Amino acid sequence: MKINKYEGYDLDALIEEAKRELGNDIKILSYEVEDERGIFPFKKRKKYTLFVEVPTAQEGFLDILSKEEKNEEIDRFLEKIEKMIDKKIESLKLNQTILPTPPHNENQQIPISEEFNEFTGDALDLINLLLKKDVEPKIAKILVKEACGLDIDTNKFDLNTSFFKEAIIKGVQKKIRFTGPLKIQKGGLKVKAFVGPTGVGKTTNLFKIASELVINQKLKVAVISIDTFKVGAIQQARAYANILNIPFFAVTDSKNLRKTLSSMSNIDIVLIDTVGRSHYDYWRLGEMKEILGGGNDLMDISLVISCNYKNSEAIEIVNRYRTFFPINSIFFTKIDETYKPGILVNLPIKTEIPVSFISTGQRVPEDLRLLNPERVANYLIGE
């Protein structure tokens, strides 16, 4: 990892300089502040040192093989592997005919089972589309039925809407609850915590929310982090907070959390960043529950879930987390990393938990959207 160092007397100017050199998506590792004496001994000014990671292209296996350092030992090893593969293929040919794997085709029809015999026409086509997007059969049936009427000729259900999108919106409106925009009352302290497994993007998306509240809603926001375990987590969060010019605190126990919150009489909302924990690690989840217990009784807790999770794993995460925390909403991330977003309807319908926001990329604060029925329908039909 290569690190660039910037020094000066204005931190915002240093950040802008780094962006000009390395691009807008820079990763700030940390910064240091020291008092520098001037000509007069009693007069000091702050000098900043900013550390930024320089993005580098990752080197793949084929790139390594193409280098001059590739020696004869590697050649012999690859030759041995090729012979083993050829031998295995020959043995398979003797036992069975190998059928080619068909390429992925978005338009390929999925066989409709007898489970959907009560549907006909456009309703069946819409069910097929939802199944291709990884919507579970039972959920697809529930959603489509909300937009159907009885076809007289076949005595089966068919869509009573002109467009698939309209039909999906109808079903989603009936079966999924949405939190809507954050409702923050100025002068009343609201506390919102973000929990979830490692790597789902809690910190980045917390600061997307913070940016929205500070820049567009002109609210007084503070951030508290209890993620003191991951290397660099506090430094990264502090750098984000410094850019937004909002208070930032790091706490390690419930007593300090309670004390910190009690000192924020002039803050409208406090966002709490938590450490990522496996949903199978009950001991660590218990520790985090004890720390968050230092918050007030009205704390709102949002569970952050990645859209590239398998449906079964996502359900397991929700069920295990909700045994420790009263989950108020689901915050979806990484929708840009999957072409099968069925989790957007499978999870809220099966868990009956409202959904709030969805992250569409890594940029702060641009890549954040409020979820609503129309937006969910757009993702499901590929718009």
Q: What does the pLDDT read at residue 213? A: 92
Is the model's pLDDT at 144 over the cut of 90? yes
Mean pLDDT lowest among 48-57, 120-129, 172-181, 295-304: 48-57
Output the average pLDDT for the chain.
83
Is the model's pLDDT at 94 over the cut of 70? no
In the chain, % helix, strand, coil (3-state, to 5) comes to 40, 20, 40
Q: What does the pLDDT read at residue 56? A: 63
CA 164 to chain centre: 27
- Residue 60 or residue 103, greater confidence: 103
Strand partners for 192 = 271, 300
| Residues 241-281 pLDDT 10s | 999 999 999 998 889 999 999 888 889 999 999 887 777 67
- Report whether 175 contacts 301 (CB < 8 A): no
Phi/psi class of residue 121: alpha, beta or left (left: φ > 0; alpha: ψ in -120 to 50)? left
Using CA atoms, how far apart are residues 156 and 119, in angstroms rounded to an integer? Answer: 5
- In this prediction, residue 176 has a pLDDT band, given cuts at 50, 70 and 90, of very high
Query: Exposed, middle or buried, 30 (CB in 10 Å: 0-12/13-18/19+)?
Result: middle
- Report whether 45 contacts 38 (CB < 8 A): yes
Strand partners for 270 = 191, 222
Q: What does the pLDDT read at residue 155? A: 92
Beta strands 148-151 and 190-195, pairing class? unpaired
Strand partners for 195 = 303
Q: What does the pLDDT read at residue 24? A: 73
Share of the chain above pLDDT 90, in %: 48
